[in-house]
Amino acid sequence: MRVPFKKTISVFVFTVYLNISYIIAQDKIPQIQLEKGEVTTAFIEAKIDSIIAILTLEEKVAMTHAQSKFSTKGVERLGIPEVWMSDGPHGVREEISWDAWENAGWTNDAITAFPALTCLAATFNPELANKYGYNLGEEARYREKDVLLGPGVNIYRTPFNGRNFEYLGEDPFLASTMVVPYIQGVQENGIAACVKHFALNNQEHWRDKINVEVSDRALYEIYLPAFKAAVQKANVWALMGAYNKFRGQYTTHNKILHKILKTDWDYDGVVISDWSSVHSTKEAALYGVDMEMGTGTDGLGTTTSNHYQHYFLANPFLKAIKNGELSEDLVDDKVRRILRLIYRTNLNPNRALGKLNTKEHHKVAREVATEGIVLLKNEENFFPIQDKKGITIAVIGENATRNMTQGGGSSQLKPLFEISPLQGIKERYKNATIIHTMGYESGDSVYDEILPATLNQDSLYVKAIETAKKADVVLFVGGLNKSHHQDSEGDDREVFALPYGQEKLIDGIHEVNKNVGFLLLTGNAVEMNWLPKTKGVLQTWYLGSMAGHAIADVVSGDVNPSGKLPFSFPKKLEDNAAHSFGEISYPGNGVDQEYKEDILVGYRWFDTKKITPQYAFGYGLSYSDFTISDVKIDQKKYNKSDTIKVTFNVANLGDREGAEVVQVYVGKHKSKVQRAIKELKGFTKVFLEKGDQKTVSISIAADELGYYNTEVSDWSIEDGNYYLYVGNASNNIVKKIKFSLF
């Protein structure tokens, strides 16, 4: 068919025009990847501006919500990569299926399980926290993740909280001091740490609906400092919202918390929702959710075709912008933060390659574990136990062989190996005879369900007593586990006492063998009516891959214990502040909850109310004897811009090397507002050879001694007299010094 000449010319001109337009458009597309010399803040921000300018609205919205259980979309036409996330705070979780809560079945996703964060907190060693974070970040990088969903910094308010083992204890100063180097270590690998759960998610029971009512003072003085340190001192790149409500509004998209985070603290990273913690398109858009994860549907409660498009920040968000109900500036801010995250992680040209399951990783895991183990009781020098011929050691208890990296919820892991306490003890003790029996049994650990035991408990009890009779020494290995209503996500504990008939078993063992030591595996305090039936107690936490080796290191004396408790152990549940006020304080009435103890959390409560704990915050024994002496401050009067310098001598009077944690607390004398008697303001871990001593100093900024003044909605520092307390536990103060601020 012939085409008229004029029409041919018109088609030709139009085709040329399209090609030229395409070429011009291509020229406008910025180079996405960076060269190593281009990694500057100004250059990256300019690059982000140029990218946002050419993204379609649909592309921008697609970046703000999940495309699978643990990933979000990139932009294919521009080469902008997807973002891949992984649980969790003490190890990189196994691969999860694209769209189901089940293992993907990979064979190359086994990792190093590091000790849970309660153990890290118990080390009181910020340098070790940095090594922990760096080695964990290396594993996340090798597994090709961009965001590691941890650490958790929710405050230990009640020993019933199922996720306390994932957090850093009851004191905001300790949590703040330990979380900063952890985050810095992770992010040195080009992996974003994601600090969580912002905020006031201090219990699992009713976590998805409970409305927390708390004073501004408690909010700012107790529950926010670790988050603030993560943002302002560690420059954390990601932060996760929480499930609960605060003052009637869900915390993931809470107007008050959004202002604090992104305006007051000037946070420039992303806010990632917890999985299914978004409840409103408008609030998520306005109050700071940048990446919506795990919602599943638009609230229908069922999975539908293309359900990721039904997320609150998916089609409903797109529609609201197109209709003019929401400004496009809102999605631009979210995309800007997401692109900033991408340039810090998977488009960072300086990013290392990562490593997995190296000897160094195992070494660090073991080091954290041994430094975090806390010697609670050592009557008649029960520990360490010598390895010598002719001695029989009975290891009794299910936790001697139970896998403690499985279960617990989102923090469960698939380690390359996990050395059990029994295996570690057997491998360390070459001369002594080691015998073992379970003593009791619980069901397997699965999420949100309690599985029954499968063995006859009476038979296990009888065999345990028979085994104890044959031994010179009994090591009872018990405590809690990662099952539902124990140390696990999804709900809280229901009883303060040891579960599974352990107290009865300890009583029975003690009747036939008085030489009993307890290896207590928990992430929480427990009731200790059984304490008089033991000569020694080691709090051994959940220690991960190297658990058994670390426990054997301390039991044998190869390592001198130096851990300190990061939270208080009450004698009875009612001694805990949250529980002392009844149901409305914990767990709430099903709708609302009031933090009636206000700022008096943990040792602040025990000190101020003159309640004696079973074991105090900061407490931990050693195989050596240490003294703290010649405590001085450099002045008696300070102005509010000064730094208070505390110096002291620490001496090791024992016959072996060891470490002591010196703790400095400060309290305001006759404050005009309610304040705790004292608050932790500094600490240092001092390592000493036998017979050695060191002069050590701790500096405290005077402007850190304020309280949150609700009358001016800001921090205030009172004039007048203060007391400085120095000791090795919150209830063991060796020196009290008076000074004044003006």
In angstroms, rounded to a whole number, what is the distance separating the alpha carbons of residues 619 and 621? 7
Question: At 412, which amino acid appears?
Answer: Q
Q: 733 has which bridge partners?
A: 727
Residue 523 is encoded by which pair of tokens? 């992430």
- Tally of CB atoms within 10 A around 338: 23
Contact status, residue 371 vs residue 123, Cβ threshold 8 Å: yes
Contact status, residue 44 vs residue 30, Cβ threshold 8 Å: no
Contact status, residue 383 vs residue 554, Cβ threshold 8 Å: yes
Contact status, residue 370 vs residue 156, Cβ threshold 8 Å: no
Mind giving me the DSSP string for 192-245? EEEEEEETT---STTTTTPEEE--HHHIIIIISHHHHHHHHTS--SEEEE-SSE
In angstroms, rounded to a whole number, what is the distance separating the alpha carbons of residues 727 and 631? 10
Contact status, residue 113 vs residue 90, Cβ threshold 8 Å: yes
Residue 55 is encoded by which pair of tokens? 């993204």
Contact status, residue 326 vs residue 320, Cβ threshold 8 Å: yes
Contact status, residue 184 vs residue 220, Cβ threshold 8 Å: no
In angstroms, rounded to a whole number, what is the distance separating the alpha carbons of residues 313 and 281? 6
Closest CA relative to residue 246, chosen from 214, 281, 279: 214
In angstroms, rounded to a whole number, what is the distance separating the alpha carbons of residues 251 and 273? 10
DSSP 718: -
Catalytic residue positions, numbered: 274
Length of the chain measured in residues? 742
In angstroms, rounded to a whole number, what is the distance separating the alpha carbons of residues 202 and 251? 13
DSSP 383: P
In angstroms, rounded to a whole number, what is the distance separating the alpha carbons of residues 461 and 397? 10
Mind giving me the DSSP string for 455-492? S-HHHHHHHHHHHHHT-SEEEEEEE--SSTTSS-TTS-
Give the phi and the psi of residue 653 in degrees, each rounded to 5: -90, 0
In angstroms, rounded to a whole number, what is the distance separating the alpha carbons of residues 465 and 462? 5
Classified as helix, coil or strand, 733 is: strand
Classified as helix, coil or strand, 688 is: strand
Sign of CA dihedral 534, 652, 170, 582: positive
Contact status, residue 627 vs residue 685, Cβ threshold 8 Å: no
Residue 527 is encoded by which pair of tokens? 């009731």
Question: At 527, which amino acid appears?
Answer: E
Helices (H), 567-611: 577-580, 603-608
Residue 602 is encoded by which pair of tokens? 């943990």
Cα distances from 730 to residues 369, 416, 734, in angstroms, run: 23, 39, 10
Closest CA relative to residue 87, chosen from 308, 274, 253: 274
